[in-house]
Structure 1
Amino acid sequence: MIVFELLAKLVGIEESFDYIGFSSGEDNEHYFVMQRHEFHKEDALPNLGSVYSEIDDQCWGEYGGIKEVTLNRERLIVHFDPSRPNPHINYDEVRIAFSVNDSEFQKLQNTLQKIMLGYEDRLNLIN
């Protein structure tokens, strides 16, 4: 299993754009983002095709291909579907450790729920 691990010093949450991002903080040397497709905010396309994810560069981004997302108070874990067609992300899993205050965590959780709208069966929120 190939895992992308990131200790996020910066956490970005844009509720109005249904966007979350995590960065190593070193001029965004390493980062991971998830965002809902702007034209499919209400549509749940097959294979999570309404959800965009990207690691470190736009060339390593793709719509869909996510098998499961887990969020707890200190970590985001994204499992990718190994059978997805044309994988641009060469990882099986993303593990991000982060630290935010309670208010920011609530915004993060709410925004992730909006990103995963229609795919709730693939979202695990752990308190």
Structure 2
Amino acid sequence: AQTARLQTVLAQWETDLRALQDSHSPVPPLAFDGGSLVLTRQAPAGLQVIVWSLREGSLWRWESPALRSVEELQAQRQSGLQQLAQRNPALRAFDGVAGWQFYCFWGNAWSNCQSTGGTAAADAGPV
């Protein structure tokens, strides 16, 4: 059962990453702060904010409704982080995760997503 659950979570993870969309707004398509990964992805009715978060040994996932404005993207990004902070059990995707680290392809090189977020190379965006 645990293996089947992990396969489902990884399939959702892949779906979210494949639908990554730059909204050309102040909301970046991908942001990682060490604890939460925030994505902007394409959905049939607009854009969605997706937040994956590692908290207390569990992987959590939150998604916004479809959005159409920059203001909605910004508000929903904050809402997702707040929902995850409240530990809504419906958002728990997988238990038993000890840690995670992400690497992004910024400016022609792979590097830790946290270490490049504020550099000029990061402006080119992940590939």
* TM bracket (short chain): 0.3 to 0.5
- Structure number with greater Rg is 2
Normalising by structure 1, we get a TM-score of 0.34
- Structure with bigger RCO (C-alpha 8 Å, 6+ apart): 1
Q: Which has the higher helix share?
A: 2
Query: TM-score scaled by structure 2?
Result: 0.34
